Every structure is written in C-alpha cells, then in structure tokens.
Chains A and B, each alone.
Chain A
C-alpha cells in the first residue's frame, strides 16, 4: 500500500523539493556574490547553470506520480475549463455529435436486433430454415414455402434435423369464452414446432404426432396472455374443451410468460397437414434444429437427396432445365432477410451523417486551434513539448466526443422510440429492440472514432506550428487552412446531395404509389373483417344465409347506399388460384389469377366501374351457370383486348365458368408479382354463392372476408350499427375491427412510408449539418479577415463587393460539393433501382429540386454571416492595429 501512503505524503515531498531547489539557487548566488559578482549577474548565472527551473521541478515531481494518468487527468481538467470557457463552441460540437451519434445509435440498435442479437432460444446457432436455390433462366435463392410432400420427406428422411412447419402467418379465429366470442390470432403449428424452438409449455405439453395427423383430434395450446386474460390463469383449463372456430378444442398446454414464437399468436392449434387441400400447394414454412452430433453439411446433403426425387417438382414449372438445390440458412437470417437491405442502407446513411458531422467538427476545431496559437506559443516557449500540446488537444477532442456520445445515447433512445412508433405493429420480426450493452459499446466506439476523425486535422496542423512566427505575428497559422476547410465542406455537401437525392426518389415513389388511381372510390367506405374459419360455416347454406342476412341488415342502416362482402379488398393481398382458359386463342393455357368471391353489391359499394357485360346479381346462385367477372388486366392478357364476355375458363380444374363482365383494375397488394407494392394483377370476381364448398373451408383458414358499407351519412356511429347488423344475422360472430380504405392503403404502403420517413430525416439532418458547416466557414472568414475587409472598404470597395469576396469561399465549397455529389449520385443511386416505382433512377425533377434546395441553403448560409461585413467600421479596424 505504498502508493496509497505516497498519495498523502506527496504534498510534503513537493514542498521539500521546492525548498531544496530554492536553497540550491540561493547558496549558489551567495557563492558567486562572494566571488565578487554583482547580485543581479549572480542570479542570472546561477539560473543558467541550473537549467529550466519549471521543467526540472516538473520532472522531479513526476517521479512521485503515475505520469501518464496524472498528466491525462490534468489535461482533462484543463480541457474541461477550456470547453466551459467557450460555451458556443462546446454547445455546437456536442449538439452536432448528439444528433449524428444519436441517429447511428438508433439505427444500429435496429440492425443489432435484426442481425446480431441471437434469437431468444437455446443454441440459436443450431436453428435454421431452408432456402431453395434455382439457377437457370429465372434464378432465385430464397426461403420457399413447402408442400405436404416436401414436409413429409423433410420430417422422415432427414435424420440430421429436427424439423417442424407452420402456417406462414396467423389467421383470425373466433374463440367462445363465457358469454361472448373473441376474435383472436391463431397460429397453426406442426408437432415438434416448440421442440425445434426448444421451449417447453409452462403447463401441459406440446402437440403429439397423433394430434398433428390430418383429421386428428382438435387440440390447442394457449399463449400466456390469453391464459391470464381470458382464462383467469386457471390451471384446470388443461384437458378442458374450448369452443374455437365453432368446434371443441382440447387445451393441452399453456406457454410460459417469457416464450415468444416467430408466429406471435394468441392461441396455437395443430396444423394437421395432409396431401390434399392446403398440403397440395406450397403453404407452410419450415424451421429446423440440428440434432446432436450432426452438422449442416450432412443436413443439406440429406435434404437434397430427399427432395430431388419428388413426383411434383413445382420449382421446375417455369423452366424444366433449371438446376434446383436446397441449403440451410440460419433461422435469424431467414426471418429477417427481407428487412436486411433496408436496415443496412439506413446504417450506411447514418454513417454518412457521422462523416458529415466529423467534417463540420474538423473545420470548427481547426479554426479553434489556430485561434489559440498564442496560448500554444506561450506553452512551447515555456518548455512544453509539441507532443504535450497535441496530447492536450486529443484529450479535449476526447472529452467533446464523450460528451457528444452521452448526449447521443439520449437522442438515440428518443429517436428509437419514435422510430418504433412509426413502424406498424408486428412489422419487425423481433420481439423488442433495446439499447443493450452492444449498442452502448458501438456508441462508445463511434464516439472515439469521431474524436479521431475530427481531431486529426488540428493535430496535423499543430505539427506544422512555427513557434517563432507564432510569437512574431500574434496569430500564426501553420499553413492556410481555408483550402482544407473548403475541401471538408465540399465532401459533406457531396454526401448531403446523395442523401437528398435518395430520399427525393423515395418520396417521389411514395407519392406515385399514393396517387395511383385506385380504380375505386374510397370515400364514405367502412370495412370490417370477421373470421369464417368456423365449423358452422363449412356448410355453404349457412354461409350464404349469413351473407344475405347481414348485408340486408346493413343496408337498413340510415344513410347506407350499398353493403357487400368480399373475400379480399383493394390494397390487400388476394387469394391466388389456377385457371385454364377454355376457348379463344389462348385456349388451354394455365394461369395464376387472383380470385375474389363477392356478393352482388361489391362493385357498387366500392364504385368499381363496369366496363363491359354485366355485374354479378342475386340471380347467380349455386345451381345456376357458374359465372365470373374479370378485370381489365385479365381481359387484356388472355383475350388480347377482344371482348372477354361470353368466353369460358376452367376454374378449380372442374367447373366451366362463363365470363359475364369486365371491370376496371383496382390497386391491390402483390400476390403474383412479388416486386411491386401495388399492382393491377389478373383478377377474377366470382359469386360467393358459387364458391366450391371444399375450397370455402380452406380459404377461410387463410382469409377473413370483409364486410363493406358505403354510406352517404356520417361515419360516426356507423361501426356500432354494422356490428349490430352482423349480430342480427349471427350473434356469435365478432368483427376484428373497422378499417377505412385509407387505413388499408397506409398499411400496404407501410414499408415505403417508413423508408421515406427515415431517409428524409437523415437527409434533413445532413442538410442541417451542411448548412451549419457553410455558415461556420463564412462566419469564421469574416472574423479572421476583419482587418483585410476594413482596408478594402477604406480603399473604396463597397460593402456588397466585400460580402461577395467573403461569401465566395462558401459558395465555391458548396458548388464543388454539389458537383461531386451529382457524380456520386450517378454511380450510387442505381442501387436503389429495386425500391423505386413510377420514377427512374435519374429523375430530373428530383435532381433539380436537390440543386435548388442546396443553392438556397448555400445562399442563406453564406449571406447571413457575410452581412456582418456591413458592421465593420474601417476606421476602427485600422486603429486597432
């Protein structure tokens, strides 16, 4: 504990040291005086012989210190005083850092949650999903849904993996609990699904193989929140039957509070997939877990062996000569794949923000260092080394960066909460996003990085520092930093241009999508979904009766002009079905089409214009000729603009359906075409009354039909009346909630809106920082050149000319940056091709707006500080010299 004792005796040591040195000098002086020297001369001689007094004392004291730490501490205290003394500078720097580091922190926490954090299951690295890789004419490599055949082979012939499948999304179901019926989200999972996740129910057990077999016993597992809220946490619920989907289901398990599944459902039922119906198409998603002792290579080899000898290889439908292989992908990558490019693009954008901020700060600190040259000159003259001064500067930068980083965490926290509120519910496939240790570590690292980036130039300037000229000219500068500062501004302006152009293109895309003619009239329309995935509605007669009575009751509501039911709505995803064209030139062609069953008032309720033939009527019943109305795209694609009315198609491979009318296209979410957010795809509208009874049960598992009401009256109170009208037809059928068509459009365009909001925020931030940068540059030139301007004005220059002379530096930097930025755009914006709709990558209006915006900002940022020139009094500046 000697160091501890030293801490307290150090003061005494220092005193003794000073005393010794004083004695030394005094005695020497006295000796010299005794030798006949004058006292003044003796003092000088003694001091010269002794050397640099301060330095000797400092070196001697250092013996008692931990020099690195103590000098750091001293530097830190000094830095803190310096920053405190320049609140304007400090606030600007900390504010800039807080914004840029905050943006990085928020976006990184999303990236962290999506890509870096492990899934919340034991041994997440042993969990995977399967990608299909097709090479050939149409190459792709992505997670594909499975058929029953594939699932069976995966389950039985791939011993390296424990596998499970589930429906790809939850679906709305009705649960009767006590006196009322609830609309819930149900997840359909195979046996071993929870085993693959390696989670055990808190009560009861998982589904057994027997329960997972087609037509097996109906069983259910409750989520913790459902068990608590609806069943009052009653442990006796196990083994009891609950009325779900109109049928009794036996509760076999309750999940624990902490358990999250990728489906995030309220209640789980066993999938019971068979070769017929759902299992005949690709409708389920697989998750896998590597068994002990197996590795991924073995697993992939087994999957390829098992799946390559199937009877129906749908992968080869488009191109029989294509090469198809399968490979495992970490589950986390599988579930976040669609969001990764966006998250990484945002990370890149925030990286730009950080660079822009650093360029600004480098300029500011550079000027500050040059302004402090008298201070450094004095310190150098007193014996400080350059390294000591540099160290001082680095410590100041570090302190600023850490202050900025701390403020950045706070900004990031707020920004992240704002960001998450912006996102629609269940948009991200992760349970929660937090500022965890890794995010904080990232923030600390980028704070350190910024301090290096913006501290680099001042430190380099310090190396060129000339002591002699510094003392002589009172304000020596190591070289001309104006060029360097202009270059920094140009770089940040260039990055800003890129961000502005990118966000401009996204905004134009969003405007394009929002203003696409929807093909129908959305005003005065209210919709609500209900689940018909219900035993009672497997009977077509009950189903028809429900539709009839409920729409009739809704038509009685005062002000209502039309009421209808449709399996899906505009802006939504529709059911995909296969059709065969029976006659015309394309006879025999198989095609995929969207299929929507509707009641006769559907077109009237949405005001979708009828272009040819007739609409569907009450006369189209189950026993009359099967009919359909197709949309314009369908007619154009299969009948080449000829009149489609009167032609026949084979729907569901059996019934000959007559096309009786053609309606206009409406905007829908893509089903066939996976690239565009809103498309006009081939669509067939068929009478709800003529829907195949077997298909009816299946489509109601995937889709919850919507009731549509068009009213001339006020929307208020309409929803309660709609609910009453539905209850008059079936008191046990709850609506999921009510949506206007605007809500549905917003939901469909959620991704675009989020992209636009985030990137625009980044671009605005970049513009703000660039403005500050240009402003600071010009303001600083005005301050530095006050004398020169005074002389110019005294020699006859007008104030206007002086302002132009000063402002030019900022305008040049900005112009250079603009040109650089446009070149950058030419190369980089091509990467955005896949997210743009209705606007090309090189969009003239966007570029024009960016140029104008930047021009305006540059003008303001150079003019405002240059106005100070007007306040310069030439007589006064000259007198000051």
Chain B
C-alpha cells in the first residue's frame, strides 16, 4: 500500500522524464516546477503537488539532479534543482527509447487503422 504512486496513470518513468526535461531547460525550485508541469500538461495530470517531492528525492539520490540555493521569482531564497550530466544522459536515453516506442505504437495503430 505504501508503494502506491499518485502517478500510476502515467507510464513508468514519465514523471521523471517530465521533471528532467523541464529542469534541463532551466533550473527551478519545487513550486515553480510544479506550476510548470501543471501548465504544460494542461492540468491533464490531476495530481497533488506534494507528490512531486518523493520523485525529486529519488532523483537526487540517483544523482540525476542536484540542488543549490537560489532566488525565486518573488525574490525569496529557495532551493533550486538542476540536472546533472548523468541526468542529461539519462534523459536523452529515455527520450530516444520513448520515441522508438511511440513510433512503434504509431505503426501498429496505422496498420490497425488501414
């Protein structure tokens, strides 16, 4: 029961991918990241914002992310998350495999449609 993920509607690793993708463009703090993901996913993912944090900790532990002090848009001192070299590498790998999978699914759908 403790393993139940709030993101279980997504395919495995989707949240990580979104976080990596977002942070690789620009390092952010937690709140900004949550807002951003909500916006770009068009509120599609009805998730609790807090659910982001266990994922962030996991990625910190794996070494894909690192954190440092920074300043928020409102000028508060906040903890900023940014992607490490290892994180970038993982993201690229994930994207390419995701694309392959997506291409595969599309082909199947195409064949099935025709």
A residues whose Cβ falls under 8 Å from a Cβ of B? 13, 16-17, 19-21, 23-24, 26-28, 30, 49-53, 55-57, 59-64, 67, 385, 387-388
Contact = CB atoms under 8 A, between A and B. Distances in A.
B51 A23 contact: no
B76 interface: yes
10 contacts: A13-B57, A17-B57, A24-B29, A27-B31, A27-B74, A49-B48, A55-B50, A56-B48, A56-B54, A60-B57
A23 to B, nearest CB: 5
Contact of B54 (A13, A28, A59, A388): A59
Given A20-B53, A24-B49, A51-B51, 13 more contacts: A17-B57, A21-B30, A21-B50, A23-B29, A23-B72, A23-B76, A23-B78, A24-B30, A24-B31, A56-B51, A59-B53, A62-B54, A64-B57
Contacts of B50: 21, 50-53, 55-56
B56 A60 contact: yes
A495 to B, nearest CB: 39
A26 B2 CA distance: 27
A20 B49 contact: no
Nearest to B34: A24
B58 interface: yes
Given A21-B30, A23-B29, A56 B53 contact: yes
Given A27-B31, A385-B1, A385-B2, A21 B76 contact: no
B61 interface: yes
Given A51-B51, A60-B56, A385-B1, A26 B79 contact: no
Contacts of A57: 53
A60 B79 contact: no
B67 interface: yes
Nearest to A34: B74
A24 B72 CA distance: 10
A378 to B, nearest CB: 19
A251 B111 CA distance: 102
A674 to B, nearest CB: 66
A5 to B, nearest CB: 12
B39 to A, nearest CB: 13
A50 B61 contact: no
Contacts, number: 80
A440 to B, nearest CB: 35
Contacts of B54: 56, 59-60, 62-63
A546 to B, nearest CB: 90
B28 to A, nearest CB: 11
B1 A16 contact: no
B53 A23 contact: no
B31 A23 contact: yes
Interface string B18-49: 00000000000111001000000000000011
Count class of interface residues, chain B: 20 to 34
Which 7 A-B residue pairs are closest in the complex by CB-CB distance?
Answer: A51-B48, A56-B50, A51-B50, A63-B57, A59-B54, A24-B31, A50-B50
B74 to A, nearest CB: 7
Contacts of B29: 20, 23-24, 27
Contact of B76 (A27, A55, A60): A27
B31 A19 contact: no
Contacts of A61: 57
Given A28-B31, A51-B48, A16 B79 contact: yes
Contacts of A26: 76
B49 A63 contact: no
Nearest to A19: B79
B56 to A, nearest CB: 7
Contacts of A17: 53, 57
Contact of A63 (B61, B76, B78): B61
A680 to B, nearest CB: 75
A619 B11 CA distance: 115
Contact of B72 (A27, A59, A67): A27
A840 B49 CA distance: 79
A51 B49 contact: yes
B1 to A, nearest CB: 5
A499 B53 CA distance: 61
A64 B57 CA distance: 8
A211 B76 CA distance: 105
A30 B58 CA distance: 28
Most interface-central of A20, A50, A55, A61 (chain B CB within 10 A):
A20
A387 B51 CA distance: 21
A61 B79 CA distance: 17
A27 to B, nearest CB: 4
Nearest to B62: A63
Nearest to A61: B57
Most interface-central of B2, B49, B50, B61 (chain A CB within 10 A):
B50
A385 to B, nearest CB: 5
A52 B50 CA distance: 8
A712 B88 CA distance: 110
A91 B6 CA distance: 45
Most interface-central of A50, A55, A67 (chain B CB within 10 A):
A50
Nearest to A50: B50
B12 to A, nearest CB: 16
Contacts of A24: 29-31, 34, 49
Interface in B61-84: 61, 67, 72, 74, 76, 78-79
A80 to B, nearest CB: 23
A334 B53 CA distance: 70
A11 to B, nearest CB: 14
Nearest to A67: B2
A21 B29 CA distance: 10
A565 B31 CA distance: 108
Contacts of A387: 1-2
A20 B30 contact: yes
A320 B111 CA distance: 93
Nearest to A49: B49
Nearest to A52: B50
A25 to B, nearest CB: 8
Contacts of A55: 50
A16 B1 CA distance: 27
B30 A16 contact: no
Nearest to A14: B57
Most interface-central of B6, B30, B67, B72 (chain A CB within 10 A):
B30
A63 B58 contact: yes
Contacts of B2: 59, 67, 385, 387-388
B57 to A, nearest CB: 4
Contacts of A63: 54, 57-58, 60-61
A596 to B, nearest CB: 82
A788 B78 CA distance: 60
A535 B79 CA distance: 105
A269 B62 CA distance: 78
A740 to B, nearest CB: 74
